[in-house]
């Protein structure tokens, strides 16, 4: 005679409702967590400076990792990497502190990674007198290579210390602005053979800064270049886009005279650099050609500054939604949306140049991802809690307190946001309890109660 098999529930009430920061249902992306955040500063690497002198004194290269401080032990979250800009001659890993803290509050682990800046004489002069007055074109490609080498090493350090910061090493998102966006693209798509086609000495033994080999990391699931470009769209290959399923989210302004929205010489407003680069529209066209997951946020009339208020607001809503949609929910994305600036900016500071036409790689979807507004400080209208039944492993006791009577939908969703159970209930006001049958497979689920103008915060349910 077979012994009966009993299934039990572990129940946790939490302010968010995903194994990470949200879930997807009915075409909507829900971002609901609001965490206390802390951070660590570490030196992840020492390496030779980018200069003419090849001194034996290496640079210390830091990173800062922001992470939710209130997660239970053992819980893992996606890692978002933010890489600063500055032409590879300026900038600091502190430049993205506010962005990183905002991501960590949403439940991500977010690291700002520094990299070696060019200290060759042409770079130092360009940093003092501006890149338009002093060209550092000779140092452009080597500096970009070194940045990719360093950031790969920084990500690897974080993956090796994943347990210290709640990192899921298999869910890495690489993003950056300007030179940081170039670097994010190189980290996601560049390999040693490709860079050696244009820099034959890259990664080969020698007494200089480009002798370190490029050692790409595993686990990258998405890349988000903001006002950036790639040196060669062919570096974005089938292996990364299809086989490894790296999703691409492009953020770029059409009036960007520092890194063109489409294809131009590097820093087109300077007119002193010959290297041709491929901006947001060209990147999107390549990903679309390969049939990959693509999201594009175009800033119509916006320039190089992603901190321009309306553009920034869209970025901070749409990019986390893109990450949840692709990395957490595992859903396919093919979406282009835009935000308009009024008045539009001039392409170059002196008023010359012409902004690019809006990229036609995908039809425009007004509003982009649907992301409900969430106020973390607001108390839930319906207080909801669950307890496992002492009698049966398939019955869940739901305790609740409702401010007003009415008809409610009790909805249970799985990790991808699909509805597993839906039950219509008429409930009176006040504190009460009902039983819910849970004939579902083992796994992670989220239960919430919703009615007209009333909604509970979700409860996480782990069925074992």
Looking at residue 458, its pLDDT comes to 75
The Cα–Cα gap between 374 and 366 comes to 20
Question: So what's the architecture of 33-340 in CATH?
Answer: 3-Layer(aba) Sandwich (3.40)
Angle at 340 between CA 339 and CA 346, to 5 degrees: 130
Q: What is the pLDDT of residues 252-273, one digit of tens each?
A: 999 999 999 999 999 999 988 9
Do the Cβ atoms of 234 and 197 come closer than 8 Å?
A: no
Backbone angles phi, psi at 120, to 5 degrees: -65, 160
CATH 2.60.40.3080 fits 380-463, yes or no: yes
Mean pLDDT computed over 227-236: 97
Q: pLDDT-derived band of residue 33, with 50, 70 and 90 as boundaries? A: confident
Alpha helices per DSSP H over 130-237: 137-160, 162-165, 179-189, 192-196
- Using 50, 70 and 90 to split pLDDT, how confident is the model at 436? confident
Whether pLDDT at 443 is above 90? no
The predicted pLDDT at position 389 comes to 52
pLDDT exceeds 50 at position 5: no
CA distances, 249 to each of 116, 288, 335 (Å) = 26, 12, 9
Most confident of 24-33, 127-136, 213-222, 449-458: 213-222
Beta bridge partners, 32, equal none
Query: In this predicted model, what pLDDT tens digit does every residue of 290-329 receive, in sequence order?
Result: 999 999 999 999 999 999 999 999 999 999 999 999 999 9
Does residue 235 carry a pLDDT above 60? yes
Distance CA 106, CA 101 (A): 9
Which CA distances in Å does 139 have to 89, 116, 121, 145, 346? 10, 13, 10, 10, 29
Query: pLDDT tens across 105-122, in order?
Result: 999 999 999 999 999 999
Q: What is the distance between the alpha carbons of residues 294 and 79, in angstroms, rounded to a whole number? A: 20
Q: Residue 316 has what DSSP assignment?
A: H
Return d(Cα 238, Cα 243) in angstroms, integer.
Answer: 7
pLDDT digit string, tens, across residues 346-390: 999 888 999 999 999 999 999 999 988 655 444 457 888 877 655
Q: 179 and 115 in contact (C-beta within 8 Å)?
A: no
pLDDT in tens, 78-104: 999 999 999 999 999 999 999 999 999
Q: Report pLDDT digits (tens) over 268-298.
A: 999 889 889 999 999 999 999 999 999 999 9
pLDDT interval class at 7 (50, 70, 90)? very low
pTM across the whole model = 0.80
- What pLDDT, on the 0 to 100 scale, is given for residue 13? 35
Q: 64 φ, ψ to 5°?
A: -125, 130
Longest Cα–Cα distance in the chain: 87
Per-residue confidence band for 420, with pLDDT thresholds at 50, 70 and 90? confident
Helix, strand or coil for residue 102? helix
368 contacts 335 by C-beta, under 8 angstroms = yes
Per-domain residue ranges of the chain:
33-340, 380-463
Round to the nearest angstrom and report the end-to-end CA distance of the chain. Answer: 24
pLDDT attached to residue 16: 34
pLDDT of residue 1: 35
Q: Are 167 and 217 in contact (CB under 8 A)?
A: no
Cα–Cα distances (Å) from 390 to 215, 387, 395, 397, in that order, read 53, 9, 9, 10
């Amino acid at each position: 005679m077979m012994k009966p098999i009993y299934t039990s529930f572990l129940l946790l009430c939490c302010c968010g409702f995903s194994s990470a920061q949200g879930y997807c249902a009915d075409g909507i992306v829900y971002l609901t967590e609001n965490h206390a955040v802390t951070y660590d500063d570490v030196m992840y690497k020492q390496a030779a400076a980018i200069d003419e002198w090849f001194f034996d004194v290496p640079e210390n290269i830091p990173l800062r990792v922001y992470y939710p401080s209130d997660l239970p032990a053992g819980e893992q979250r996606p890692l978002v990497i933010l890489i600063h800009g500055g032409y590879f001659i300026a900038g600091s890993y502190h430049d993205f502190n506010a962005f990183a803290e905002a991501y960590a509050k949403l439940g991500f682990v977010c690291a700002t990674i520094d990299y070696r800046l060019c200290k060759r004489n042409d770079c130092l002069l360009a940093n003092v007198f501006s890149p338009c007055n002093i060209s550092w074109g000779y140092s452009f490609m080597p500096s970009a290579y070194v940045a990719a080498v360093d950031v790969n090493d920084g990500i690897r350090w974080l993956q090796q210390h994943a347990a210290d910061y709640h990192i899921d090493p298999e869910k890495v998102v690489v993003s950056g602005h300007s030179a940081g966006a170039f670097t994010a693209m190189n980290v996601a798509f560049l390999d040693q053979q490709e860079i050696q086609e244009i820099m034959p000495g890259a990664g080969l033994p020698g007494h200089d800064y480009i002798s370190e080999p490029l050692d790409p990391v595993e686990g990258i699931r998405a890349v988000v270049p903001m006002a950036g470009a790639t040196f060669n769209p062919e570096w974005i290959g089938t292996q990364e886009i299809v086989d490894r399923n790296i999703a691409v989210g492009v953020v770029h302004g059409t009036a960007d005279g520092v890194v063109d929205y489409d294809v131009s010489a590097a820093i087109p407003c300077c007119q002193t650099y010959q290297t041709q680069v491929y901006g947001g529209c060209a990147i999107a066209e390549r990903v679309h050609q390969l049939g990959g997951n693509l999201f594009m946020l175009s800033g119509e009339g916006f320039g190089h500054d992603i901190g321009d208020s309306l553009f920034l607001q869209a970025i901070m809503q749409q990019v986390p939604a893109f990450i949840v949609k692709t990395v957490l929910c595992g859903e396919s994305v093919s979406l282009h949306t835009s935000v308009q600036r009024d008045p539009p900016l001039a392409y170059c500071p002196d008023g010359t140049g012409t902004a690019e036409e809006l990229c036609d790689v995908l039809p425009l979807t007004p509003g982009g991802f649907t992301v409900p507004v969430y106020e973390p400080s607001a108390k839930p209208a319906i207080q909801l809690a669950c307890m496992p039944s002492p009698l049966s492993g398939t019955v869940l006791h739901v305790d609740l307190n409702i401010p007003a009577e009415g008809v409610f939908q009790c909805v249970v969703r799985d990790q991808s946001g699909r509805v597993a159970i839906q039950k219509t209930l008429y409930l009176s006001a006040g504190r009460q309890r009902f039983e819910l049958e849970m004939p579902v497979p083992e796994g992670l689920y989220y239960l919430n109660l919703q009615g007209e103008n009333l909604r509970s915060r979700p409860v996480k349910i782990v069925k074992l």
